[in-house]
Amino acid sequence: MTSLLIDLLDSVAQSPHADPALLTAADDLRAALTPDVTHGPFLTVIVRTQGRRIETLKDALLCLAAQSCQDFDVIVADHDSDEVGAVAVRAAVDEQAVDFRSRISIAEVSGGGRAHPLNVALSRATGQYIAIYDDDDLLFGHWVETFRSAAETAGNRLIRAQVGLQNVQPEAWPDAEAGFLTLSSIRAEYPEEYDQLRHIRVNSSPFMGWAFPRVLFEKLGFRFDEELEVCEDWDVILRGASLLGVTNATELTSIYRRWENGRSSYDVHDLEEWQRSESRVIEKLDAMPLVLDRGAATQIRQVLVFEDAANAHAHLLAGWTWRLATPIRIGVGVVKRARPFVGRVLRRFHLR
């Protein structure tokens, strides 16, 4: 498998009638998109926190410490923590076992929105892939292992794994005021595989389900859009997938915790902020040529055929002939409903 851009160029260059120079161009592009991997682990994990949920941060760190594959390092991006929060974040990191602690660094970041700490951490990331994991989510033991296994054949595509969903709410614990309570079992509500077209409509792939190849940032110059109040993940997913493509690892490897009682990003950011961010994401996508993966033509055709049918139906319903024919349809409906009854009456009186 290869990235979408190279796949596109290869498919053009390999035509028997194409200029052979295109093959060279494809090779050059391939070379340009090859990451400089001379050092660093397979994965850099950016853990985004604000120092307000130390108990969930401790869950998050334990999930990392328990990974079956330990070929990763961690950057805890501590964004705008107050003094107490920053101390608590440092303490949660410092208590980790020596081997794991030696692979964690803390980036204390002030100002900016949700994307800013990610960009600061990105500038320090050395992994071949980069994953982003908020401090209130959970990982299964094979999260890194699954990404690593998929990366062997991903050819610099983005890697997407399956994410479960679970509801939680804030709740004091016997020894911790900032505890929480899990309210539901884990559900598989997100699609098993990435659908490029459907993701333009809505993002159904939580952040920690992704491993982004380093070339996306290092070679193609991607950064998280700091103008966005929310949807900073969706923006990079859509644009990145259009250039590099996506490899699906269908294992369920993480859990997105949805907060009830006013703690989720849906509550913290108002509707206007969401709408503003969504509009910006789509405008940015409109401003660039969109490369679609193999199989997209059939999918688009199906969507358009369905849309045509829906339009035709709507047109029919709005038309004067449909309205004029209303009494006839009512009459036909009455006859259809009456037919069994009439049949029973006729049979009862042996009239047929």
Distance CA 127, CA 213 (A): 9
Token pair 């992704």 is found at 210
**Does 87 sit near other proteins (CB under 8 A)?**
no
User: Which residue from 12, 22, 29, 65 is in contact with other proteins, where contact means CB under 8 A?
Assistant: 65
The region, left, alpha or beta by phi > 0 then psi within -120 to 50, assigned to residue 51 is left
Question: Least distance (Å) from other proteins to the CB of residue 132?
Answer: 18
Q: Which amino acid is at 269?
A: H
* Closer by beta carbon to other proteins, 61 or else 75: 61
Minimum gap (Å) between residue 211 Cβ and other proteins: 17
- Both tokens of residue 149? 């296994």
Q: In angstroms, what is the minimal distance from the CB of 179 to other proteins?
A: 6
Does 247 participate in binding other proteins (rule CB under 8 A)?
no
Question: Which residues 27-46 are close enough to bind other proteins by CB under 8 A?
Answer: none
Nearest distance in Å: CB 123, other proteins: 29
Toward other proteins, which CB reaches closer, 207 or 222? 207
Q: Given the complex with other proteins, which of 173 and 322 has the nearer CB atom?
A: 173
Q: How far is residue 247 CA from its own chain's centroid? A: 13
Question: For residues 215 and 253, is the Cβ–Cβ distance under 8 A?
Answer: no
From the CA atom positions of the chain, what is the Rg in Å? 27
* Two structure tokens written together for 67: 């990974």
11, 250, 275, 311: residue in contact with other proteins (rule CB under 8 A): 250
Instruction: Lay out the site mask for other proteins across 95-124 (x = CB under 8 A, - = otherwise).
Output: xxxxx-------------------------
For residue 5, what are the contacts with CB-CB under 8 A and spacing of at least 6?
29, 33, 243, 244, 291
Binding-residue total with other proteins (CB under 8 A): 41
CA 249 – CA 142 distance, rounded (Å): 12
Residue 121 near residue 131, CB atoms below 8 Å = no
Query: CA 4 to CA 291: how far, in whole Å?
Result: 7
In the list 183, 220, 282, 291, the residue contacting other proteins (rule: CB under 8 A) is 183
Amino acid at 81: S
- Check binding of 164 to other proteins (CB under 8 A): yes
List interacting residues with other proteins (CB under 8 A): 55, 58-59, 61-63, 65-66, 68, 95-99, 138-142, 162, 164, 171-176, 179, 181-188, 192, 250-252, 255
